[in-house]
Amino acid sequence: MKEQTKIPKNKISRASKLARTGVKVGVNYLKYKAKKTITGKDDKAAFHEVTAKQTYDTFSELKGGPLKLAQMLSMDRNLVPDQYADQFSQAQYSAPPLTYPLVVNTFNKELGKKPTEIFESFTNKAVSGASIGQVHQAKIGDNKYAVKIQYPGVANSLKSDLAIVKPIALRLFQLDAKSLDPYISEVEERLLEETNYHLELERSVDLANKSRHLPMTRFPAYFPKLSSRRILTMQWVEGMHLDTYADSGASQAEKQRIAQALWDFYHHQIHELRIFHADPHPGNFKVHEKNLWVLDFGCTKALDQKFYSDYFSLMDPEVIADDTRFRDVLFKTGLLLESDNLAERKKLVSVFKESIELLSRPFVSGTFNFGNKDYFRELADFGERSRLDKELSKLSTSRGNAHALYLNRTYFGLYHLVGSLGATINAKLPNYSQTKVA
């Protein structure tokens, strides 16, 4: 993969790059509309194909907020067309890395030494690169380390980047500003946390310690003395990333055990710790010696009790079956608004009921076959119908609790990771999450 020799750091140069991408999107759209008018053919797929590549190329060059937004969007094919999901999925852990001299500069600023003055060996090229930083392998004696180095300028440019990305996303995905605002706000808040490696180190140690009892689940050791605000050093973990493992020749019985370990890890963090690993993409997990290794706690999300209770009460079959109770919870969670008229409420209740019944299906019987591709086709079909529903698009006022964004995306990502392993999961919710609505 070609390395970057520099990264735009000042706000003007980054804004210029993003603005040019916005112009390209506009030109592509005009070409698409003109061709449709002349030929009568609606070749929107070709428009998305070209635009997705151009947008990803810019986002991957800038790193930070734009690339993280791309990574988030790639996890939800109900929100974006497949062309964008396919392109943006590269942001998970294979973004173009920065060259070694830039890495040395970061070490000098953060730790006052070059990498080779700290480690006996240090790879000149990154072994992986994502939205916030890239990872190099290092050694001291027989010990191997994964050293994550943050891209320069990422933290300082977050707010300005996201402000410029917003209108591009609005045009690309035909969203209204109020629908996108919660995404932007949540991405900004989580990203600001992710750029603080001191905080990540603290959370990683704490959450790993509170999850070590889980069978087949392992966590790397962390090294505070070899870390700083922009550098994080942890134990190097051998093995295969989860997507590679899913495509490997491992037995289905072994994949089943790994999938259940993954599910139980999230089940424990969401329902017991109420703070969870909120970035479930395959680059954050490895499988080694039949154990699941959790590699990265950069993105975490805490849940307060009221939100947790309201959110999971929607999963209760008794609530779903009772129209009055169901509407009450929709109001509590902000999915229905007092300003909605009767016709609007009827439409929204119908849509939300279908959505929640579909998404909560894995919890109903206690076990669920995520290897059933028909289920994921149902999810995709529902997403497509919702996007194209003109009546629904008129009700696009921002709805719901912003805290649900990362929880929704975590479950969505988890479903797909478990699905990639073709596993049948013990998925029943714990009793304490089956909160009854009075």
Residues 304, 372: one domain?
yes
Residue 223: which residues within 8 A CB-CB, separation 6 or more? 145, 233, 234, 235
Q: Give CA–CA dist 365/357, Å, rounded.
A: 13
For residues 71, 73, 76, 78, the Cα torsion angle rounded to the nearest 10 degrees is -160
Q: Which run of H or of E encompasses 189? A: helix 177-194
Kindly state whether residues 268 and 177 are assigned to the same domain. no
What six digits make up the tokens of 216? 């087949």
Report the C-alpha gap between 271 and 432 in whole angstroms: 8
Q: Facing residues of 269 across strands?
A: none
State whether 387 and 294 are in the same domain.
yes
Q: Is 77 within the bounds of a domain?
A: yes
Range(s) of the domain holding residue 435? 241-438
Asked, for residue 143, whether it belongs to a domain, the answer is no
Alpha helices in 269-341 (DSSP H): 305-313, 317-321, 323-332
Q: Are 349 and 336 in contact (CB under 8 A)?
A: yes
Task: Judge if 376 and 280 occupy the same domain.
Answer: yes
Q: Is residue 316 part of a domain?
A: yes
- Neighbouring C-beta atoms of residue 213, cutoff 10 Å: 8
Co-location of 186 and 262 in the same domain: no
Q: What is the pLDDT of residue 438?
A: 37
For residue 165, tell me if it sits in a domain.
Answer: yes
Q: What single letter denotes the amino acid at residue 401?
A: N
Structure tokens at 86: 């396919």
Buried b / exposed e along 356-370 (16+ C-beta atoms within 10 A): beebbebbeeeebeb
Q: Quick one: 258 and 162 in the same domain?
A: no
Q: What angle do CA 347, 352, 354 make, to 5 degrees?
A: 100
Strands 217-218 and 291-294: parallel
Per this entry, what is the length of the chain?
438
User: What's CA 353's distance to the chain center, in Å?
Assistant: 25
How would you write the pLDDT of the chain (438 residues) with one tens digit per residue? 556 555 555 555 665 665 565 545 555 544 545 555 555 555 566 666 777 777 767 776 666 666 666 666 655 555 566 666 666 665 555 556 778 998 999 999 999 999 999 999 999 999 887 677 889 999 999 999 999 999 887 777 777 777 767 766 666 555 566 666 766 777 778 888 888 999 999 999 999 999 999 999 999 999 999 999 999 999 999 999 999 999 999 999 999 999 999 999 999 999 999 999 988 888 899 999 999 999 988 889 999 999 999 999 888 888 988 999 999 999 998 899 888 899 999 999 999 999 999 999 998 888 999 999 999 999 888 887 887 787 877 775 567 777 887 898 899 889 999 999 999 999 887 764 554 433
Amino acid letter, 252: Q
Q: Output the pLDDT for position 23.
A: 47
Q: How far apart are alpha carbons 175 and 76 in whole angstroms?
A: 14
Judge whether 99 lies within some domain.
no
Of the candidates 192, 219, 253, which is a domain's last residue?
A: 192
* Number of domains into which the chain is organized: 2
Q: How far is CA 380 from CA 76, 242, 375, in A?
A: 9, 22, 9
Distance (Å, whole) CA 75 – CA 138: 31
| In-domain check, residue 403 | yes
Query: Are 70 and 170 members of one domain?
Result: yes
- In this structure, the answer to whether residues 51 and 167 fall within a common structural domain is yes
CB 158 within 8 A of CB 64: yes
Cα distances (angstroms) measured from residue 147 to each of 156, 200, 224, 300: 22, 13, 12, 20
- From residue 321, give the alpha-carbon distance in Å to each of 11, 315, 317, 326, 379: 52, 11, 6, 8, 21
Q: Please answer whether residues 415 and 375 qualify as being in contact, where contact means their C-beta atoms are separated by less than 8 angstroms.
A: no
Residues 180 and 255 in one domain: no
Are 4 and 99 a contacting pair, CB within 8 Å?
yes
Any domain includes 201: no
Main-chain dihedrals φ then ψ at residue 239, nearest 5 degrees: 110, -170
> Nearest Cα to 229, choosing from 302, 140, 132?
132
Amino acid at 332: K
Same domain, 252 and 398: yes
Whether 355 and 436 share a structural domain: yes
Is the same domain home to 161 and 275?
no
